[in-house]
């Protein structure tokens, strides 16, 4: 165990650069944070029916998220109990049994040990109950699946707390049909995971880093994305979670359904009518297509960001993997609007992914932070912007600041400090 005074590295308005580059701190984070809290592992639509699975991670530990025959969603460590070989190397799929390719131990989709070849080689007998795949505690909220190593942790809904209100609002982009994963962009950047964590509720960077994205939009849309001057705010939701409201008009997608359909969606509206949707559904889908007007950051590894989930996985102190999960309308069985989902996919490609108009510039910025952090041995990361609470909008009693404030980052680092010093 490290003897570092982690508490001294996080002040109210700044954090020490060692948090980005000290490998010993990273190792402690994997133990104290990622093994002691609820960590996002997937969305229910990725395990849509009995015997489906997807691979994921809790911190840097590989897991399989499965749905068993009874519909129960589980999170299992992806290692055979015999000699530790991974039992699943497919990203996702459907199968009722995982067979370890090394010595043939087989496991049911719920993790139970099914069969051991030549079992009579264990003269004292082998207690199959004892050698199932290790199960993590797993709970869901609004279709989002979280898992934890900490069996006695508070229930997920308590951990999420006030963030649940924003998750409820976020899922309205399903336009009443539910939310379904359509695909994901995956990329890496050579930098610490907390650099990305900071980014989701950082509106300050948006007009600067994403100038070329804004320039690629029509004038009306570009105006909507004036995220700093539009009356938005950032709010500390507790437990390190925070929300950044960028477009106040798009907080609740059930509001303003009577407003005229914007010109840029006229063609989509026509396609939706051709798909057989009535006028009310057309308006609902059109309003939902661009996603919500806010980014919700859930400590430590997932964000609900406008129209997608952003998931981070710490790989090493200076290496992080990111998934941008595209979501659309539908559930396991149904895709209510192919045209609506095509529009969502094209919007996602426009900003996200390794060649999107936004992501590579974010990634470059994050990498620059890591490179610059090499300079100076006793310098601090400043998070002191925007401490004055805006009037009226946030939940009374919550710590909040204007849209460009660094309230969200301060919230995350205070949670980091609580967990690292507990």
Rounded Cα distance, 238 and 252, in Å: 22
Asked if residues 137 and 150 have their Cβ atoms less than 8 Å apart, the reply is yes
Instruction: Provide the H-helix boundaries in 253-296.
Output: 266-274, 279-289
Rounded Cα distance, 317 and 270, in Å: 50
Report helix, strand and coil shares of the chain as percent, to nearest 5: 30, 25, 40
- Asked if residue 204 binds another protein (CB under 8 A), the reply is no
Q: In terms of CB distance, is 6 or 309 closer to another protein?
A: 309
- Asked if residue 112 binds another protein (CB under 8 A), the reply is no
- Asked if residue 346 binds another protein (CB under 8 A), the reply is yes
The encoded tokens of residue 19 equal: 């948090």
Asked if residues 416 and 33 have their Cβ atoms less than 8 Å apart, the reply is yes
Binding another protein (rule: CB under 8 A), the pick from 332, 365, 393, 418 is 365
Site string for another protein, 155-194 (x = CB under 8 A): ---------------------------xxxxxxxx-----
- Asked if residue 57 binds another protein (CB under 8 A), the reply is no
Binding another protein (rule: CB under 8 A), the pick from 127, 129, 130, 215 is 215
Those residues with Cβ within 8 angstroms of residue 374's Cβ, 6 or more apart along the chain or in another chain: 21
The encoded tokens of residue 166 equal: 């924003």
DSSP letter at 345 equals H
Binding another protein (rule: CB under 8 A), the pick from 364, 372, 384, 395 is 364
- Ordered DSSP codes for 179-239: EEEEEEEEEEESS-HHHHHHHTT--TTHHHHTHHHHHTS-HHHHHHT--SSSS-EEEEEET
* Interface segment toward another protein; rule CB under 8 A; list 17-25, 115-123, 164-172, 357-365: 357-365
Binding another protein (rule: CB under 8 A), the pick from 60, 321, 389, 393 is 321
Q: In terms of CB distance, is 97 or 355 closer to another protein?
A: 355
Site string for another protein, 77-96 (x = CB under 8 A): --------------x-----
- Asked if residue 266 binds another protein (CB under 8 A), the reply is no
Helix axis angle, 279-289 to 266-274, nearest 10°: 130
Helix axis angle, 407-421 to 23-32, nearest 10°: 80
* Interface segment toward another protein; rule CB under 8 A; list 52-60, 158-166, 297-305, 347-355: 347-355
Q: In terms of CB distance, is 248 or 338 closer to another protein?
A: 338
Q: In terms of CB distance, is 126 or 315 closer to another protein?
A: 315
Least Å distance, CB 345 to another protein, is 5
Rounded Cα distance, 39 and 1, in Å: 23
Least Å distance, CB 307 to another protein, is 12
Counting residues that bind another protein (by CB under 8 A) gives 38
Least Å distance, CB 271 to another protein, is 12
Rounded Cα distance, 344 and 303, in Å: 18
- Asked if residue 326 binds another protein (CB under 8 A), the reply is yes
The encoded tokens of residue 7 equal: 């508490």
Binding site for another protein (CB under 8 A): 91, 182-189, 209, 211-213, 215-216, 321, 326, 338, 341-342, 345-346, 348-350, 353-355, 357, 359-365, 368, 371
């Amino acid at each position: 165990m490290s003897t570092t005074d982690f508490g001294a590295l996080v002040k109210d308005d700044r954090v020490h650069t060692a948090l980005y580059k000290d490998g010993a701190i990273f190792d402690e984070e994997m133990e104290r944070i990622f093994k002691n809290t609820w960590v996002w592992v997937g969305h229910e639509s990725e395990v849509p029916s009995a015997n489906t699975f997807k691979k994921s991670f809790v911190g840097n530990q590989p897991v399989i998220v499965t749905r068993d025959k009874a519909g129960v969603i589980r999170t299992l460590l992806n290692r055979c109990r015999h000699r530790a070989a991974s039992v699943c190397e497919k990203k996702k799929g459907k199968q009722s049994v995982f067979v370890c390719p090394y010595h043939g131990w087989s496991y049911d989709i719920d993790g139970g040990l099914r069969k051991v070849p030549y079992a009579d080689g264990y003269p004292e007998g082998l207690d199959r109950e004892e050698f199932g795949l290790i199960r993590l505690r797993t709970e869901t909220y609004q279709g989002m699946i979280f898992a934890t190593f900490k069996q006695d942790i508070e229930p997920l809904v308590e951990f999420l707390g006030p963030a649940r209100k924003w998750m409820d609002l976020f899922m309205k982009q399903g336009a009443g049909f539910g939310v379904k994963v359509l695909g994901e962009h995956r990329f890496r950047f050579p930098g610490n995971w907390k650099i990305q964590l900071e980014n989701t509720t950082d509106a300050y960077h948006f007009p600067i880093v994403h100038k070329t994205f804004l320039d690629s939009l029509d004038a009306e849309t570009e105006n909507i994305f004036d995220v700093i001057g539009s009356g938005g705010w950032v709010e500390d939701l507790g437990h390190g979670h925070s929300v950044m409201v960028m477009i106040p008009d798009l907080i609740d997608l059930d509001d303003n359904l009577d407003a005229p359909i914007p010109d840029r969606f006229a063609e989509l509206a026509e396609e939706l009518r051709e798909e057989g949707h009535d006028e009310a559904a057309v308006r609902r889908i059109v309003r939902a297509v661009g996603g919500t007007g806010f980014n919700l950051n859930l400590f430590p590894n997932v964000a609900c960001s406008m129209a997608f989930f952003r998931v981070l996985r710490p790989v090493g102190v200076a290496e992080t993997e990111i998934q941008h999960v595209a979501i659309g309308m539908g559930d396991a069985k149904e895709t209510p609007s192919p045209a609506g989902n095509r529009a969502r996919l094209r919007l996602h490609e426009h900003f996200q992914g390794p060649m999107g108009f936004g992501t590579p510039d974010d990634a470059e910025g994050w990498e620059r932070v890591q490179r610059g952090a090499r300079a100076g041995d006793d310098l601090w990361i400043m998070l002191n912007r925007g401490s004055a609470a805006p009037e009226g909008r946030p939940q009374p009693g919550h710590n909040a600041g204007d849209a460009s404030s660094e309230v969200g980052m301060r919230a995350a680092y205070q949670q980091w400090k609580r967990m690292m010093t507990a």
